[in-house]
Structure 1
Amino acid sequence: MEVAAWSLIVGTLLVLMALSGSALKHLPLSTAMFYLLVGLAIGPLWFGLARVDPIADSKLLEHLTELVVVVSLFSVGLKLSVDLDDPRWLLALRLAVGSMLLTVALITLAGLALGLPLGAAVLLGSILAPTDPVLASDVQVADPEDRSRLRIALTGEGGLNDGTSFPFVMLGLGLLGLHPLGEWGVRWLLLDVVWAVCGGLAIGGVLGTLMGRLVLHLRMRHSQAVGYDDFLALGLIALSYGAALLTTSYGFLAVFAAGVALRRVERRETATHQHEPDVPEPEPEAVVEQALSAPKPPVDADHIATHPAHAPAFLAHAMLGSTERTERIGEVAAVVLLGAMLWAVDWSLVTWWFMPLLFVGIRPLSVAIGLAGSRVVPAQRRLIAWFGVRGIGSLYYLGYAINHGLDAALANTLVALTCGAIVVSIVVHGISVTPLMEKYEKRRSTKRPEE
């Protein structure tokens, strides 16, 4: 009966979201809020169909969220089609490095005020500092041609800081005696910071570039390697992530860099073939999207996939579409899992003044300092400060810490604070995202597109 019940629940949920997803976009609600309620409903608090414990089932928590974040980061990288020397990238870097470091430090101070030991306070800061690439899709770049400074900054931040916060997870574990830091922290600095960050970015960048060039060469020159773009996307994700882990660098940064590199190859190849005299000008991107969405267009789709004018955009669109679909399914699983384990959270361990401090104190202050002197207008700065969405990435780091030997008492405290922050984020950001972003887009339409 359990299999039948689960089949009914999952099937109903997926069908409902397919039928009502477009309607929810115009309401002050998010799909994550709905998934969270479903998770609560199937947990012991309501129907008792699933019993998930964040401590006992920490392996499931870690590996499920790891998979969802990895796919999401690759998708985020593919969305960012701005050149690497574009000043918009600087905003994302300032948020993902400067603002993130300040957020870790401020949450650490708050953790000490909560009575946590230094290592656990640093760990709390590193768990809650990164913004989420999965649940923040409504404020990210809508399509590769989007040049909004706000959306690019938030998208780049979400792609980068899930990796740049990893060194502080290791630092927190090291201060608790669960990870070697070396004398005076030298090992941590050289391996967990310098090598792991640089190595992850380099591995992903190289693999994404090589994969993009190889596939486009085979398609445009030999009309080979056509189709199975979803396999290519998942294969590149797995190669980048696996290679990074084997070299003890950060896989999250590797898959993000692979997505960015693949999009860079697409832009270069498109620009190159646009100016070749024997190649017609590429038609609008609608042609590529139509070919991908047509019910059965084997000849036309294969022709577009191998045509020099369209092949690069076709490859990028197809891979982005497949990873976005996988990401959406992963979001369902991860948020339902969160809802199903809320029964096991010791809510008495949550100090509720910490939540407004995090979202309306620490986040705005870190953004204001991180973006000081930038060209971001006040309205954009306020939206960036507000949309510091916490979600699946924080759940991953929580599971990772628990599985590395975190003390049971500290684990329960971090579970309560992390789950509390994520639930608050899902609710307050889910309610506010639609009206705030619609207002922003309306104002943006009357100004320059990059505003």
Structure 2
Amino acid sequence: MSIAQWSLLVGTLLVAMVLTGSLLERLPLSGAMVYLLLGWLLGPDVGNVLRPDPRQHAVLLEHLAEVALLISLFSVGMQLGVPLRDRRWRLPVRLALVAMAAMVALLAVVGVWGLALPLGAAVLLGAILAPTDPVLASAVRSEPGPVPDRLGFSLAGEGGLNDGTAFPFVLLGLALLGAQPFGFADLQRWIVELVWVTGGGIAIGALLGAATGRLVVHLRSRHGEAVGLDEFLSLGLVGMAYGLAQVSLASGFLAVFAAGMALQRVREAPERALERPAHDRQHASEMRDSVQAFNTQLENLAEMALVLLVGAMLAYAPPVFALWWFVPLVLLVLRPLSVVVALAGEPLSPPQRGMIAWFGIRGIGSVFYLMFALARGLPMPIAELLLSLTLWTVAASIVVHGITSQPLMQRYRRVARVA
């Protein structure tokens, strides 16, 4: 297609989403479901306009998914205004660590015994499909503020955290697939790296987000400097957090997520705020609102682009027989089992437990880790099987969770009001 034709297509898609946005909110549909269908229609199976062959373009698709994931994580981080030391983080942390590790283990068992995969490929499959998506289930998103709904906060926090904590398991799977031995010393090193990747990423992002936000607010409120260009602040903070974490061998995903949370909590220093006129004391909230509004729009664009590509990539992932039992097993059995393990002893109501168990949505994180693995040169039979299992699981998750999110959330809110 020519540049003019691409311009017409992209412009039409963007305007169509604006015009149909209100209609989609009234229907049991999500924007991601529409993007998935459009991607399939534009892909090789129908229109042959989009041809994102994962075998040929794995590195490019990896980078695109990585950018989309960073934007999403920063935006979700800004939705969560709860300090890291708050005990409400206990539930998302347990879901992101315990439930994810249980999911990796369960999928690895299924991979070895049900799919006849070698151990490394089975662990890799588990690591690819274990992360949940904090973006695609917009109906269960946590609202901004210091007292968010526990269900939405837990699911958003889980999705933000486990996109980063899955990375060591991906590396473990790739290492087990390699020719080099993986002994006790390698396992010790992997455990140390897991601790640093997780803790270091969160610490770097939290410190950088808080320091940057406070510096900007100080310059604006005390000196009238650094005013405007909040879009640059959003992109710049994402880039700095990710880059600093990566060069420090920590998780860039967790750093960006933590940077968004830290920026959300930036306030005027109380003793100084009282000395300023009322309109000057609005700098912090104006900065947060502006950055969040801009990043939300970026997030919507990133979601549309990536899900369109997923729809088009389905043409390169021919259905295999195992899909008929594997996808229901992942969504209906393994996710609830992993949540049961993680929520043991938590004081939750049955509706809350059921909703958390059901909304284990697979999305951008799984696509990124799939492309990351393909770009590292997997053996062809394993690559073909992981491609089909991952993309069709993500597609099924987008559809079934998109259809059920609105009615289930409406029922949950009614029950919560009665209780």
Counterparts of 2:180 and 2:313, CA distance in 1: 28
Query: For 1:387, which of 355, 359, 366 is the aligned residue?
Result: 359
Alpha-carbon deviation of 1:445? 4.0
Letter in 1 for 2:187: G
Please say if residues 99 and 338 of structure 2, whose CA atoms lie closer than 8 Å, have aligned partners that are also in contact.
yes
Partner of 1:234: 235
User: What pairs with 1:66-81 in structure 2 (closer than 5 Å)?
Assistant: 66-81=66-81
Please say if residues 69 and 365 of structure 2, whose CA atoms lie closer than 8 Å, have aligned partners that are also in contact.
yes
User: What pairs with 1:358-377 in structure 2 (closer than 5 Å)?
Assistant: 358-377=330-349
SS across alignment from 2:84? coil
Please say if residues 134 and 155 of structure 2, whose CA atoms lie closer than 8 Å, have aligned partners that are also in contact.
no
Partner of 1:157: 158
Counterparts of 1:203 and 1:329, CA distance in 2: 27
Please say if residues 40 and 314 of structure 2, whose CA atoms lie closer than 8 Å, have aligned partners that are also in contact.
yes
Alignment gaps of 5+ in structure 1: 283-303
Counterparts of 1:149 and 1:46, CA distance in 2: 43
Alpha-carbon deviation of 1:46? 0.8
Counterparts of 2:181 and 2:192, CA distance in 1: 12
Change (3 A) 1:220 1:397: same
Partner of 1:25: 25
Counterparts of 2:50 and 2:19, CA distance in 1: 25
Moved more, 221-230 or 130-139: 130-139
SS across alignment from 1:353? helix
Partner of 1:428: 400
SS across alignment from 2:266? helix
Partner of 2:142: 141
Matched, 1:416 2:418: no
> Could you state the TM-score of these two structures normalised by the residue count of structure 2?
0.95
SS across alignment from 2:320? helix
Partner of 1:104: 104
Letter in 2 for 1:82: V
> Could you state the TM-score of these two structures normalised by the residue count of structure 1?
0.88
Partner of 1:300: none
User: What pairs with 1:53-68 in structure 2 (closer than 5 Å)?
Assistant: 53-68=53-68
Matched, 1:339 2:311: yes
Please say if residues 178 and 404 of structure 1, whose CA atoms lie closer than 8 Å, have aligned partners that are also in contact.
no
Alpha-carbon deviation of 1:387? 0.5
Matched, 1:166 2:147: no
Counterparts of 1:31 and 1:341, CA distance in 2: 18
SS across alignment from 2:303? helix
Change (3 A) 1:412 1:26: same
Matched, 1:402 2:374: yes
SS across alignment from 1:168? helix
Letter in 2 for 1:434: Q
Number of matched pairs: 417
Please say if residues 103 and 130 of structure 2, whose CA atoms lie closer than 8 Å, have aligned partners that are also in contact.
yes
Counterparts of 2:321 and 2:6, CA distance in 1: 32
Matched, 1:41 2:13: no
Please say if residues 62 and 371 of structure 2, whose CA atoms lie closer than 8 Å, have aligned partners that are also in contact.
yes
Alpha-carbon deviation of 1:136? 2.6
Change (3 A) 1:350 1:12: farther
Partner of 1:202: 203
Change (3 A) 1:276 1:233: closer
Counterparts of 1:140 and 1:231, CA distance in 2: 25
Change (3 A) 1:235 1:411: same
Counterparts of 2:317 and 2:180, CA distance in 1: 26
Counterparts of 2:181 and 2:298, CA distance in 1: 36
Q: Deviations over 1:293-313 (max 9, x none)?
A: xxxxxxxxxxx5xx12x2221
Alignment gaps of 5+ in structure 2: none
Alpha-carbon deviation of 1:345? 0.8
User: What pairs with 1:261-340 in structure 2 (closer than 5 Å)?
Assistant: 261-266=262-267, 269=268, 272=270, 278=275, 304=279, 307-308=280-281, 310-340=282-312
Counterparts of 2:27 and 2:83, CA distance in 1: 34
Counterparts of 2:222 and 2:93, CA distance in 1: 37
Counterparts of 1:147 and 1:357, CA distance in 2: 31
Change (3 A) 1:237 1:180: farther
Counterparts of 1:355 and 1:276, CA distance in 2: 54
Please say if residues 76 and 133 of structure 1, whose CA atoms lie closer than 8 Å, have aligned partners that are also in contact.
yes
Letter in 2 for 1:441: R
Alpha-carbon deviation of 1:24? 0.8
Please say if residues 29 and 431 of structure 1, whose CA atoms lie closer than 8 Å, have aligned partners that are also in contact.
yes
Change (3 A) 1:138 1:181: farther
Change (3 A) 1:222 1:361: same
Alpha-carbon deviation of 1:279? 5.6
Alpha-carbon deviation of 1:160? 0.2
Counterparts of 1:26 and 1:143, CA distance in 2: 23
Change (3 A) 1:178 1:203: farther
SS across alignment from 1:348? coil
Structure 1 runs (4+) greater than 4 angstroms displaced: 178-182, 275-280
Partner of 1:13: 13
Counterparts of 1:279 and 1:98, CA distance in 2: 47
Q: Deviations over 1:150-181 (max 9, x none)?
A: 01100100110001111100100010117885
Alpha-carbon deviation of 1:130? 0.6
User: What RMSD over aligned residues (CA atoms) do the two structures have, in Å?
Assistant: 1.9
Alpha-carbon deviation of 1:2? 3.1
Q: Deviations over 1:399-419 (max 9, x none)?
A: 001111211111111000001
Counterparts of 1:231 and 1:315, CA distance in 2: 12
Change (3 A) 1:257 1:124: same
Moved more, 136-145 or 212-221: 136-145
SS across alignment from 2:124? helix
